[in-house]
Amino acid sequence: MHRSNNNFDLNTLTIFRRVVELNSLSKTAEELVINPSTVSRKISDLESFYGVKLLLRTTRTLTLTEEGKAFYGYCQSIDDLLVRSENEITNTQVEPTGLLRLVIPVDTGNLAMSDALNEFAIKYPKVVLDLEFSNRTVDVVEEGVDVWFCVGEAANQSLISKRVMTHRRYLMASKEYLSKYGNIESIDDIAPPHRQVLNKNPFNYKNKNAIKHLPYSIGVNSSYAVFKSCLAGLGLAYVAESLVNKYDTENQLVTILGEELWSEAVISMVYPERKLKPMRTEYFLDFMSNYFRYI
């Protein structure tokens, strides 16, 4: 049954959402320029209104209950809803605003997306980009992340996955390495004493990973570091073509069996399925899709 409560308003939803995202009553109060006691009272008003506990509060931590997690999902678009309704009613110009949380693989962010991210920030100055460059797996809903740039497709079927770019890697070695260990004319030649530079990131191989059986002297989860190690003659490696074109200025790397051996990494934008996404999220998804469509 719906409960009547004169103290409950839409601003309370915004307060609850920021408490969850900042994990702090005091930081929320500071950001919204209100008293901490007001923040605490508004959360209590919400819990009284729905008759359930949303947050478990101690002197040190805030923890969402299961009901709180579900309610937080409904609150994430409240700011955008209020802005849109105000603009439609007052017939003013619509402009995306607010905080946009993004998690991007380290190499992808540093080497492929920095220009696009900067261009978006310049074009939409009222959107604040909160960037985390990390290779970790992200729980988009649980962490309140707006867009996660995922290698491959997301395992969670409740999320939307939209391909934004593809990196192709070819098996390569430096000229110095080949002069020491011998040229490779066929897959059968890929055997010890040849060795590899181990890339710990997952790829999809056209046929098979032809160097996985080789010993390695260095293993790393950075494509750029793999490129540098391969360039230094430390072993065979699958190297992104874009890195070679940009950084192998002296043409020291040689492609090996290019028609047979290559790998492919698809980068997808992963985000929650919502009928009403924040305007900043919609603009960002469209911007990134268009940006990488033409390069």
How many residues are recorded in the chain?
Answer: 295
Candidate from 19-33, 67-81, 167-181 with smallest mean pLDDT: 67-81
The answer to whether residue 236 is domain-embedded is yes
| Res 3 pLDDT > 60 | no
| Res 217 pLDDT > 90 | no
235 phi, psi to nearest 5 deg: 155, 180
Maximum separation of any 2 CA atoms in the chain, in Å:
81
Q: Label the pairing between strands 196-199 and 62-64.
A: unpaired
| Res 4 pLDDT > 70 | no
- Stretch 144-148: mean pLDDT: 89
Count Cα atoms within 13 angstroms, Cβ side, for 247: 17
Q: Specify whether 279 is located in the same domain as 241.
A: no
Q: Specify whether 51 is located in the same domain as 195.
A: no
Q: Specify whether 133 is located in the same domain as 174.
A: no
| Res 88 pLDDT > 60 | no
Q: Specify whether 252 is located in the same domain as 271.
A: no
Candidate from 10-14, 167-171, 199-203 with smallest mean pLDDT: 199-203
Q: Which residue has the higher pLDDT, 80 or 29?
A: 29
Give the domain extent around 37. 10-75
> How much of the chain is in helix, strand and coil states, percent to nearest 5?
40, 25, 35
pLDDT number for residue 81: 67
Nearest to 168 by CA among 102, 262, 232: 262
b/e per residue, 60-84, with b = 16+ CB within 10 A? eebebeeebeebbeebbbbbbeebe
pLDDT number for residue 259: 85
Nearest to 144 by CA among 20, 29, 60, 56: 20
| Res 294 pLDDT > 80 | no
- What is the count of structural domains for the chain? 3
pTM: 0.63
**CA dihedral angle for residue 64, residue 67, residue 73, residue 78, rounded to 10 degrees:** -100
Q: Specify whether 277 is located in the same domain as 157.
A: yes
Tens digit of each residue's pLDDT (9 = 90 or more) over 237-273? 999 888 898 889 999 999 999 888 888 878 899 998 7
The answer to whether residue 54 is domain-embedded is yes
Q: Specify whether 130 is located in the same domain as 275.
A: yes
Q: Specify whether 156 is located in the same domain as 277.
A: yes
C-alpha span between 217 and 238 (Å, rounded):
15
| Res 119 pLDDT > 90 | yes
- Stretch 39-52: mean pLDDT: 87
Candidate from 60-64, 139-143, 199-203, 223-227 with smallest mean pLDDT: 199-203
Q: Specify whether 188 is located in the same domain as 255.
A: yes
| Res 230 pLDDT > 50 | yes
Query: By percentage, how much of the chain surpasses pLDDT 70?
Result: 85
Q: Specify whether 14 is located in the same domain as 158.
A: no
C-alpha span between 291 and 120 (Å, rounded):
10
| Res 60 pLDDT > 90 | no
pLDDT number for residue 183: 94
Q: Specify whether 161 is located in the same domain as 174.
A: no
**Contact present, 269 and 285 (Cβ < 8 Å):** yes
Burial status of residue 236 (CB atoms within 10 A of its CB: 0-12, 13-18, 19 or more) = buried
- Stretch 139-144: mean pLDDT: 82
Q: Specify whether 289 is located in the same domain as 242.
A: no
- CA of 72: how far to CAs of 3, 18, 90, 108, 120, in Å? 19, 10, 28, 30, 27
C-alpha span between 95 and 185 (Å, rounded):
58
Count Cα atoms within 13 angstroms, Cβ side, for 67: 9
The answer to whether residue 258 is domain-embedded is yes
Q: What is the CA radius of gyration of the chain?
A: 25
102 forms beta bridges with 131, 147
- Stretch 153-182: mean pLDDT: 87
Q: Specify whether 153 is located in the same domain as 99.
A: yes
pLDDT number for residue 2: 45
63 forms beta bridges with 56
| Res 207 pLDDT > 90 | no
Q: Which SS3 state, helix, strand or coil, does residue 169 take?
A: strand
CATH code: domain of residue 22: 1.10.10.10
CATH code: domain of residue 150: 3.40.190.10
Candidate from 2-6, 116-120, 203-207, 235-239 with smallest mean pLDDT: 2-6
The answer to whether residue 273 is domain-embedded is yes
